[in-house]
Amino acid sequence: MLSVAGRIDFSKYEKMQPVYTEYNVGYYRRSFNLSPNSFDEHEISAEMKEGVLTLRLPKAERAKSRKIPLR
Amino acid sequence: MVLGFVDPFDALFRFQRALDQQLDSDWLENATSGVGSFPPINVFRHGNDFVAIIEMPGVSKNDLALEVRRNAIRISGNKAIDYGGNASVHRRERVAGRFDRTITLPVQLDSDRVRRQRA
């Protein structure tokens, strides 16, 4: 199971009176089921750039399929 | 007896309810935000100023244009997604492309004093 959760800083909304709103702000969480033992847990990396989170989950060596050569 | 006219108070109350519904948005409530126009905009009043907060993750500064004219702000640009060379997509929730939105405010804006700030 991979979970991504975030919290926001509400202090910047103090003294701000909403006059027109299109989206909600708040804490968030999403979870994804990963097949067990398929990923190299120690090699998972995360990068945040311009508000976009990129997670890299390298496939574990044992989970890689074996290529069958054609004769 | 006047026929064909609705009760003026009824009309007034319906108007009032319509106005209240406008104000009663789902701000800070539980709902998904992944619907509607891109980019989503929230507008606040802060003292004498208006603050428009616009969410556009993944849009680089060079791909964004802001324009102010009288009481309108135009936000346009391009959102690009680069998955890199030989990636295949299993699930796609983020979309890329050009966007162009204009919001109008009920006041004249001082275009020289409009400031932009990236969080």
Does residue B37 register a pLDDT over 80?
Answer: no
Find which of B53, B79, B81 to mutate to test the A interface (most A CBs within 10 Å of its CB).
B53
The domain limits of chain B are 36-85+95-112
Instruction: Say if CB A36 and CB A63 are below 8 A apart.
Output: no
Does residue B21 register a pLDDT over 70?
Answer: no
Find which of A19, A28, A34, A53 to mutate to test the B interface (most B CBs within 10 Å of its CB).
A19
Take residue B30 and report the two structure tokens written for it.
């539980």
| Min Cα–Cα distance to chain B from A62, Å | 21
For residue B60, list chain A residues with Cβ-Cβ distance below 8 A: 50
Alpha-carbon distance values, B4 to A22, A44, B8, B9, B76 (Å): 39, 72, 12, 15, 49
The domain limits of chain A are 2-63
Asked if B25's CB is within 8 angstroms of A18's CB, the reply is: yes
Strand pairing of A2-6 and A28-32?
Answer: antiparallel
pLDDT: is A10 or B107 the higher one? A10
Percentage with pLDDT > 70 across chain A: 100
Taking phi first (over 0 means left), then psi (-120 to 50 degrees means alpha), and beta for anything else, what does residue B27 get? beta
**Confidence at residue A34, expressed as pLDDT on a 0 to 100 scale:** 87
The ipTM, to two decimals, is 0.75
Maximum separation of any 2 CA atoms in chain B, in Å? 79
**Confidence at residue B33, expressed as pLDDT on a 0 to 100 scale:** 46
Whole-angstrom distance, CA of residue B36 vs CA of residue B11 = 31
Domain boundaries B36-85+95-112, corresponding CATH code:
2.60.40.790
**Confidence at residue B92, expressed as pLDDT on a 0 to 100 scale:** 84
